[in-house]
Amino acid sequence: MTQDILFTPYALGPVTLANRLVMAPLTRNRAAAGFVPGPHAAEYYAQRATAGLLIAEATQVSQQGQGYQDTPGIYSDDQVAGWRKVTDAVHAAGGRIFLQLWHVGRVSHVDLQPDGGAPVAPSAIRAETKTFVNNAFVDTSEPRALALEELPGIVADFRKGAANAIAAGFDGVEIHGANGYLLDQFAKDGANVRTDAYGGSVENRARLMLEVAAAVVDEIGAERTGIRLSPVTPANGITTSDPQAQFDHIVRELDRLKLVFIHVIEGATGGPRDVAPFDYDALRQAFSGAYIANNGYDRALAEAHLADDKADLIAFGRPFIANPDLVERLKARAPLAEIDPATLYGGGAKGYTDYPTMRG
């Protein structure tokens, strides 16, 4: 049983997943005009529909929420219609798909912002990272601190994004609360030095993330709402002095909202799992919904953590790019194809929909 557990069905709220593998969100910068999913997106996701759950690429809930060129949105009618083609293709292939709702906060550039304005953040602290704009990696722009009266608008954008995702045919949504983007920026004191009700204490810094989660739950139901968290990642220049206390509190409160899953990046995003001490089992124990484990998993580690009840589902990211049939390859213990780094971001079908399966 231990060796087969990765390939057993799993009931995620009202949705039955064919196996325990999750395709993590993967930004590919291929949106078309109007930030609509590109012409090859439906084929790309349908090719990977053998995953138990697909989580579509990070998708901004407003123009203000955009941080990179050619990423899709979920705030216009055209975007909803574009995503409907994707969900229809995935469902026709027997798959299940959630959409990741995204606001990048300070990880942006003036050339992407409405009227060339400054990116927004909890505090006016620049992100020590780069973004991709005008076909180049450049430093992020200096942000401005969000005013207190602007925060309900942020919550409303996530609420509307969730409603639009369901209208587009998604089975649910994942709120992006990780990787140094806006909700993570509010949660972590390296980016948040506010002195109002959204800064200072663990409870105050968690407030915006929890308000967004509550609004999305109210809009589409807890059984269709998950969230992604990254307690200790240094991604996008984010830091925090108290990750255990912060995320123990966040997960306890998310459990009260009865979210269907938490999707936890264990360690540094795309990097070492042991980048900083953290008790992930404490999050697992504090949350009664599904725990999706992410970061550096192979078949052996995935099976071990599932068998030891350390996780319910296992997310794989980059391996899905070059291996549309990753589930089948893992099951057969077959070699995995390698990514072409030159085609990761931007472009068309090459390096997107033309990776072959084991059978050609």
In order, the DSSP letters of 42-71 are HHHHHHTTTSSEEEEEEEESSSTT--STT-
Catalytic residues, which ones? 181
- What is the distance of C-alpha 161 from the center of its chain? 14
Residue 53 in contact with residue 22, Cβ under 8 Å? yes
With beta carbons less than 8 A apart as the criterion, state whether 73 and 79 touch.
yes
Per DSSP, the residues of 233-289 read: --GGG---S-HHHHHHHHHHHHHHHT-SEEEEE-SSTTS-TTSS---HHHHHHH--S
Place of tokens 């990750």: 243
**Residue 226, strand partner residues:** 174, 261
Contact indicator for 99, 74 with CB cutoff of 8 Å: yes
Element (H, E) at 32: none
Helix (H) or strand (E) holding 261: strand 261-265
